[in-house]
């Protein structure tokens, strides 16, 4: 496993938990859903790129 991919994975996990409860004020709603959707899509894209390199 590449160290950069591991770092990106950990950063995504931190983003998905910290941002909604800090910047979004813990409010569940469309902004939280949109944020999670964008971060999840970006993470899936990074996984796809990593698997292409193997």
Q: What is the pLDDT along the chain (54 residues), one digit of tens a residue?
A: 678 888 888 888 888 888 877 877 777 778 888 888 888 898 889 888 888 887
Count of other CB atoms within 10 angstroms of residue 40: 12
Residue with tokens 């964008």: 38
Q: Tokens in use for 44?
A: 């899936």
Selection from 38, 34, 35 nearest residue 46 by Cα: 38
Residue 24 to residue 51: CA distance in whole angstroms = 33
Of the chain, the end-to-end C-alpha distance in Å amounts to 10
Q: What is the pTM of this model?
A: 0.68
Please, are residues 39 and 15 in contact by the beta-carbon 8 Å criterion? yes
């Amino acid at each position: 496993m590449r160290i950069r991919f591991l770092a990106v994975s950990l950063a995504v996990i931190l983003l998905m938990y910290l941002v909604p409860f800090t910047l979004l004020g813990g409010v569940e709603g469309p902004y939280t859903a949109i944020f999670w959707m964008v971060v999840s899509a970006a993470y899936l894209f990074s996984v796809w790129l990593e698997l292409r390199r193997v």
